[in-house]
Amino acid sequence: MKNTIQTVIVAFLVSAFTILGFNYLQTDNQSNNTIRVEHTDATPAQSVLFSKNTEGEYVPLDFTATAEKVNDAVVHIKSTQTNIAGGQNPFGGRGQMSPFGDDDFFRQFFGTPRGGQPQAPQPRVGSGSGVIINADGYIVTNNHVIEDADDIEVTLYDNRSFKATLVGTDPTTDLALLKVDETNLPKVNLMNSDDVKVGQWVLAVGNPFNLNSTVTAGIVSAKGRSINIMKEQNAIESFIQTDAAINPGNSGGALVNLDGDLVGINTAIASPTGSYSGYGFAVPSNIVSKVVQDLMEYGVTQRGYIGVRIRNVDNALVNEKDLSVNRGVYVDEVTENGSAGAAGIEAGDVIVRVENAEINSNPDLLEAIAQRRPGDRLDITVNRDGSERIFNVVLNNRDGNTDIVKKRMPKALASLGAQFETVDKDLAKKLQIDGGVQVKDLQAGKLKKQTNMQPGFIITKVDGRNVSSVEELEKYLEKKKGGVMLEGVYEDYPGEYYYAFGA
């Protein structure tokens, strides 16, 4: 009996272990063939960076609200240049096919030039960004984004597209102002860029590499940077430097603070490859604001001058001139009849302050003056022989007076996209003409889009009638309907030239 019980117990244990072993192996086999996906309702990561709000309280750093606010006000700009001259003559390198230059007359009125099939222009398309600064359709961008464009198209964040007109440009700051026929647009506000601090967070918003609505984050790396990128005479470079990623296509886009206010217009990068390498530069919003106001009010930028030749104060100059300060701007020369000299500033002075703004370098001084107009009064503090003196300086314009230059563009001439000037008597006598109207500059408009006219062309006749002043040209075009033919000469090229366009 005892042996029977032991046998039963052993059999039971063997069976139990066999079943458990089988279940273990089956479970292990299933685990090797099953992919487990686990979900959690908790946030996997918490904010670890903080920033102070306006009340001085520490809050988690978050860019989403700023990006949502600014994206709507940053646009994509496509600029197209169709009439690209192939040479240095008024015919664009195609030769004199007819007495009508490049056959604009016959193309306009008969659809094809004489002597063959029409030659299609080779368009050049550029891309950049812009910032809406006014709900009625005013957009700021870089001059180099739209320079020489025959057609400017603006695409909003919501994918609506508009043709833009050029209000004005300022190559010395690389800024341009556009206008689209739309209202109630989202916009950004311009902040006082003097309040921008090195080290504060900023976002760069634009369209790099045609990638619409791209936002990058960084800090203000430096202020008052000059990188000698603009070759215009009297160019003003006092950039805000940032390490927010800026690439080709960001030009004209927004650099904003965390409140979504405009700090500057992204303009340039410093890179050995042409792509982002850590250094981006923006025109400060104070300069942007002043240029925009000038273009809206006067049609041209009002530039003030103090009449000095300057250089940065550095250690070598301190030792050479035995200066008592190691910062500021050294006055090498005071120009004759300049406003600085008239106020009492002398060669050898060191400019250390303009109003309440500290001046540590040439860009600081250029930026401070660029925010003012001819006729404005400024308190300029200089260090002379170890002591500070304050001089009240009245800014002059380039001509040495305080007049405001207002460029009036008559309605009849505005659509032509050109600046006109009445030919003076000396030039008329030299060219043996009775008078005329010279085309000083060509921008987006009918003349550039429909003809191959070059700057410098002198209009002597309109539809066969003599014209000797801008006023006469305006008066005639106001009443004109249909096609217009212009006849005239170039100062540096022999013969007469003809251009026609649709009125």
What's this model's pTM, rounded to 2 decimal places?
0.71
251 is catalytic: yes
Q: Is residue 493 part of a domain?
A: yes
Strand, helix or coil at 7? helix
Residues 246 and 315 in one domain: no
Residues 314 and 269 in one domain: no
Distance CA 184, CA 121 (A): 37
pLDDT, position 9: 62
Residues 440 and 351 in one domain: no
Q: Which of 102, 103, 104, 174 is catalytic?
A: 174
Q: Tell me the Ramachandran region of residue 304: left when phi exceeds 0, alpha when psi lies from -120 to 50, beta otherwise.
A: beta
Q: Is residue 83 part of a domain?
A: no
pLDDT, position 404: 84
Residues 213 and 250 in one domain: yes
Domain boundary among 297, 324, 349: 297
Q: Is residue 3 part of a domain?
A: no
Q: 418 near 450, Cβ under 8 Å?
A: no
Residues 270 and 292 in one domain: yes
Within 10 angstroms of residue 152's Cβ, the number of other Cβ atoms is 25
Residues 293 and 198 in one domain: yes
CATH number, position 470: 2.30.42.10
Q: Is residue 173 part of a domain?
A: no
Q: Is residue 465 part of a domain?
A: yes
Q: Is residue 82 part of a domain?
A: no
Q: 366 near 238, Cβ under 8 Å?
A: yes
Q: Which of 102, 144, 221, 294 is catalytic?
A: 144
Q: Is residue 440 part of a domain?
A: yes
174 is catalytic: yes
Domain boundary among 330, 362, 394: 394
Residues 276 and 254 in one domain: yes
Q: Is residue 420 part of a domain?
A: yes
Closest to 253 measured CA to CA, from 279, 225, 288: 288
pLDDT, position 230: 84
> What tokens were used for 262?
């405009």
Q: Which of 193, 221, 226, 251 is catalytic?
A: 251
DSSP alpha helix (H) spans, 137-284: 143-146
pLDDT, position 163: 94
Domain assignment of residue 459, given as a range = 411-502
Q: Return the residue matching tokens 């193309």.
A: 107
Residues 285 and 205 in one domain: yes
> What tokens were used for 133?
């600064």
Give the DSSP per-residue string, 447-475: HHHH----TT-EEEEETTEE--SHHHHHH
Residues 317 and 271 in one domain: no
Residues 352 and 415 in one domain: no
Domain boundary among 394, 421, 436: 394
Residues 293 and 315 in one domain: no
Q: 216 near 258, Cβ under 8 Å?
A: no
Please give the chain's pLDDT, 503 residues, in tens: 555 555 556 555 556 555 555 555 555 554 455 555 555 554 444 445 676 666 777 767 789 999 999 999 999 999 998 755 443 445 443 333 333 344 443 333 333 343 344 455 567 888 999 999 999 999 999 999 998 888 899 999 999 999 999 998 999 999 999 999 999 999 999 999 999 999 999 999 999 988 888 999 999 999 999 998 887 778 899 999 999 999 999 999 999 999 999 999 999 998 888 888 889 999 999 999 999 999 998 888 999 999 999 999 999 999 999 999 999 999 999 998 899 999 999 999 999 999 999 999 999 999 999 999 999 999 999 999 999 999 999 999 988 899 987 665 666 677 787 888 899 888 999 999 999 999 987 776 788 778 889 989 999 999 999 999 988 998 888 888 888 999 999 998 889 999 998 85
Instruction: Tally the domains of the chain.
Output: 3
Q: 374 near 396, Cβ under 8 Å?
A: yes
CATH number, position 198: 2.40.10.10
Distance CA 102, CA 46 (A): 67
Residues 264 and 328 in one domain: no
